[in-house]
């Protein structure tokens, strides 16, 4: 069953999501050569608890940390460690979830450490664009598989590959609700999107082949071929006015990216995606 949220519930979800966005912004600014992934995890946990919220991932099926931090060929679910020291040229994915007032927000970004090569840069850009393309499909009446179709088309057009083993998900009072949202496949399948549905859309994209495997720690997913991997995620509500990106960051700059994708009126789209009150 897909749980639709009332306007009042969407406002509460937005509070959890806005906190996640602030934490990710802080993490992004803190990434630098010499910083450990455990340092980043500590900052995030402190900030989440100071806001009266609780880390959503810690203890989830035994996950031991607040943030999933996945470097280079790590795809998702990397466990923060004192021994993992970031170096210039790395790409680092940070996935944050927080529970506030009974609702969960979930979002991820992948950012460069210092200077990175042009191919790595393209991987980050295309993965983020794929997420935005997917978000444009989140209109009432569209079908769930339209989202993954949009991701796959954009990613493969640029010569990268979509990870199949992990999916996006419905989200609300629980971190994982129905439906599952694959990042590939034909359009026009699955449930219809309706007002009040909230989905965490999270494309994972490899520079090389799509295959992944999970390390002996039971969590860290890495690319089989050792190629770089990127991950971007937003928690997005479906409203009568189109998608509402609840985890939008202050400095995210949707309009710039939307314009390069040839979408009309990017400024207007940007303000709609960021709306702070549900429509109607």
By the 8 A CB rule, do 5 and 54 touch? Answer: no
Q: Out of 31, 96, 150, 200, point to the residue binding Co ion (CB under 5 A).
A: 200
Query: Is residue 94 within a helix (H) or strand (E), and if so which, with residue range?
Result: strand 91-100
CA 143 to chain centre: 20
- Does position 96 bind Co ion by CB under 5 A? no
Q: Which is nearer to Co ion, 39 or 184 (CB)?
A: 184
CA 138 to chain centre: 15
Whose CA is closest to 198, among 6, 5, 19? 5
Whose CA is closest to 100, among 58, 65, 48? 48
Phi, psi angle pair for 143, to nearest 5°: -110, 155
- The option from ligand MF3, Co ion, none interacting with 68 (CB < 5 to 8 A, set by class) reads ligand MF3
Q: Out of 27, 68, 71, 222, point to the residue binding ligand MF3 (CB under 6 A).
A: 68
Question: Sign of dihedral through CA atoms 177, 160, 249, 84?
Answer: positive
What 3-state class would DSSP assign to 230? strand
Q: Out of 18, 35, 181, 200, point to the residue binding ligand MF3 (CB under 6 A).
A: 200
Q: How far apart are CA 37 and CA 32, in angstroms?
A: 10
- Does position 177 bind ligand MF3 by CB under 6 A? no
- Does position 160 bind ligand MF3 by CB under 6 A? no
- The option from ligand MF3, Co ion, none interacting with 132 (CB < 5 to 8 A, set by class) reads none
Q: Which is nearer to ligand MF3, 84 or 275 (CB)?
A: 84
In angstroms, give the least distance from the CB of 181 to Co ion. Answer: 9
DSSP 146-198: HHHHHHHHHHHHTT-EE--S--EEE-SSSSSEEEEE-SSS-SS-SPBP-TT-E
Q: How far apart are CA 194 and CA 185, in angstroms?
A: 21
In angstroms, give the least distance from the CB of 200 to ligand MF3. Answer: 6
Q: Out of 60, 114, 186, 240, point to the residue binding ligand MF3 (CB under 6 A).
A: 60
- Does position 90 bind ligand MF3 by CB under 6 A? no
- The option from Co ion, ligand MF3, none interacting with 60 (CB < 5 to 8 A, set by class) reads ligand MF3
Stretch that binds ligand MF3, among 53-61, 115-123, 182-190, 209-217 (CB under 6 A): 53-61
In angstroms, give the least distance from the CB of 67 to Co ion. Answer: 13
Please work out the total of residues on this chain that contact ligand MF3, with binding judged by CB under 6 A: 13
Q: How far apart are CA 122 and CA 128, in angstroms?
A: 10
Q: Which is nearer to ligand MF3, 33 or 59 (CB)?
A: 59
Per CB under 6 A, residues contacting ligand MF3 are 57, 60-61, 63, 68, 77, 95, 97, 106, 169, 200, 202, 233
Per CB under 5 A, residues contacting Co ion are 106, 200
């Amino acid at each position: 069953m897909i749980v639709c949220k009332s306007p009042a519930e969407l406002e509460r979800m937005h509070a959890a999501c806005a906190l996640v966005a602030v934490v990710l912004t802080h993490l992004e600014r803190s990434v630098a050569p010499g910083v450990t992934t455990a340092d980043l995890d500590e900052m995030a946990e402190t900030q989440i608890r100071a806001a009266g919220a609780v880390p959503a991932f810690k203890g989830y099926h035994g996950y031991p940390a607040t943030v999933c931090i996945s470097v280079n060929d790590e795809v998702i679910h990397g466990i923060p460690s004192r021994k993992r020291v970031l170096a210039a040229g790395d790409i680092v994915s940070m996935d944050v979830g927080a529970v506030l007032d009974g609702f969960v927000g979930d979002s991820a970004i992948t950012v460069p450490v210092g200077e990175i090569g042009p191919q790595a840069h393209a991987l980050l850009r295309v993965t983020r664009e794929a997420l935005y393309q997917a978000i444009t499909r989140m209109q009432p009446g569209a079908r769930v598989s339209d989202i993954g179709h949009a991701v796959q088309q954009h990613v493969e057009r640029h010569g990268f590959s979509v990870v199949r083993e992990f999916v996006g998900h419905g989200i609300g009072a629980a971190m994982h609700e129905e439906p599952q949202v694959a990042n590939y496949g034909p359009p026009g399948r699955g449930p219809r999107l309706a007002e009040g549905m909230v989905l965490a859309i999270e494309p994972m994209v490899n520079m090389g082949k799509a295959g992944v495997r999970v390390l002996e720690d039971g969590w860290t997913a890495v690319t089989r071929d050792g190629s770089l991997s990127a991950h971007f995620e937003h928690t997005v509500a479906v409203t009568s006015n189109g998608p509402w990106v609840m985890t939008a960051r202050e400095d995210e700059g949707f309009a710039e990216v939307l314009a390069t994708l040839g979408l009309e009126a990017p400024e207007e789209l940007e303000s709609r995606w960021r709306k702070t009150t549900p429509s109607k």
